[in-house]
């Protein structure tokens, strides 16, 4: 369990950084059109992570600390850029115009449920009965927040837009999960420049005016932290916990957004907000406390990622005399093995599951 603590803390830190972006983005929308703001946020993440890569390279010299992206990773990265880097932030920022920041922050918790559903249905990630109950709780809370009984259609189009943005981010998380063993800084740098330039180009084609320099700088700094470092931490966490569990912890993101919303906008939560909050908390607790233990088989495979030799999956096959006590990168072989231990759907446990799992609580 201690092995899961570090990626869990990474997921919580990622959640805090992203959650803080909602109320600050709402402030920036006074000066920047949504499409341009989405582009600046992602461009800021790309520039920030590129600078960090340069610093890392100068510090480490010629040694590689992370596995490089390969040609086979490009389709997954492109899909992540289009879904989570272009579609999701633009839809979110348009929806934020007519949604209270605190409500929007809580609605973003639906990303957790969307990611888990996609992981289970499309990518066959193992999800227990406890996790399905949690998904229903979070989805129901999202319905509560998107309901507007005073409207002609009975729901808020702005709140619905935020839920759709979460669906796109859920797709993004699962696409990124498939390349999470590769260098997170490189992934976020490419994603930031790709999504940022597409959104900026779209904004200018739509005739959006160029914002003031201080607003541009503020948006890029926010993007560096909330879309750059946050995604890097999220990818690191997915390596150890899988997409569903990492997103469950990421569901704590609204806490930072709600606190800042109260401070910045003096917002008073409404009845729907107060009803949805405990339901979402219950859902998050159910996901975080899920455990998984059963007899499973690993097929023989060769792959490349950063690793150390402090677990049962890295026990040899080294072409060079590496210091096995520290993390290093090289292509390595995993022999076929069958064993039983507690695990999460990390990069070594993305196997199909039989119905007779020992522990699903």
Secondary structure string (H, E, C) spanning 49-92: HHHHHHHHHHHHCCCCCCECCCHHHHHHHHHHHHHHHHHHHHHH
pLDDT in tens, 16-51: 898 888 888 988 999 999 999 999 999 999 999 999
Task: State the pLDDT at residue 36.
Answer: 94
The proportion of the chain whose per-residue pLDDT surpasses 90, expressed as a percent, equals 28
pLDDT in tens, 320-349: 555 555 565 656 566 666 655 455 565 554
**Which of the pair, 4 or 233, is modelled with greater confidence?**
233
CA 169/CA 111 separation, integer angstroms: 6
**Which of the pair, 102 or 306, is modelled with greater confidence?**
102
CA 22/CA 261 separation, integer angstroms: 8
Has residue 279 got a pLDDT over 90? Answer: no
Range in 160-169, 180-189, 261-270 with the lowest mean pLDDT = 261-270
Task: State the pLDDT at residue 300.
Answer: 64
Distance from the first to the final alpha carbon of the chain = 15
Range in 17-21, 95-99, 273-277 with the lowest mean pLDDT = 273-277
Residue 280 corresponds to which tokens in the numbers above?
A: 């979402």
Task: State the pLDDT at residue 191.
Answer: 93
pLDDT in tens, 114-153: 888 888 888 877 777 777 787 778 777 766 766 665 554 4
CA 281/CA 290 separation, integer angstroms: 14
């Amino acid at each position: 369990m201690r092995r899961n603590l570090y990626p869990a803390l990474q997921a919580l830190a990622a959640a805090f950084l992203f959650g803080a972006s909602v109320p600050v983005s709402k402030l920036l929308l006074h000066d920047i059109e949504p499409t341009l703001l989405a582009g600046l946020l992602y461009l800021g993440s790309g520039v920030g992570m590129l600078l960090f890569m340069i610093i890392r390279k100068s510090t480490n010299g010629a040694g590689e600390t992370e596995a490089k992206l390969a040609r086979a990773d490009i389709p997954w990265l492109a899909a992540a850029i289009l879904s989570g880097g272009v579609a999701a932030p633009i839809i979110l920022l348009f929806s934020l115009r007519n949604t209270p920041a605190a409500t929007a922050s809580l609605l973003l918790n639906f990303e957790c449920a969307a990611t888990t559903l996609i992981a289970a249905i499309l990518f066959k990630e193992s999800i227990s009965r406890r996790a399905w109950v949690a998904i229903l709780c979070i989805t129901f809370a999202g319905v509560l927040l998107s309901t507007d009984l005073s409207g002609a259609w009975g729901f808020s189009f702005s709140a619905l837009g935020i839920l759709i943005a979460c669906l796109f981010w859920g797709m993004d998380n699962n696409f990124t999960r498939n390349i999470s063993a590769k260098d997170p800084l490189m992934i976020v740098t490419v994603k930031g420049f790709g999504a940022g330039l597409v959104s900026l180009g779209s904004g200018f084609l739509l005739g959006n005016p160029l914002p003031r320099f201080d607003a541009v700088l503020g948006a890029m700094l926010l993007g560096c932290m909330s879309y750059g470092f946050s995604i890097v931490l999220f990818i690191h966490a997915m390596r150890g916990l899988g997409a569903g569990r990492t997103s469950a912890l990421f569901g704590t993101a609204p806490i930072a957004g709600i606190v800042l919303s109260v401070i910045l906008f003096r917002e008073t939560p409404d009845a729907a907000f107060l009803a949805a909050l405990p339901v979402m908390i219950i859902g998050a607790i159910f996901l975080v406390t899920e455990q998984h233990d059963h007899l499973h088989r690993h097929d023989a495979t060769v792959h490349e990622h950063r690793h150390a030799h402090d677990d049962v999956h890295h026990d040899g096959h080294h072409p060079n005399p590496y210091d096995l006590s520290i993390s290093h990168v090289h292509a390595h072989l995993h022999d076929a093995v069958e064993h039983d231990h507690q695990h999460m759907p990390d990069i070594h446990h993305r196997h199909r599951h039989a119905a007779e799992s020992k522990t699903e609580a």
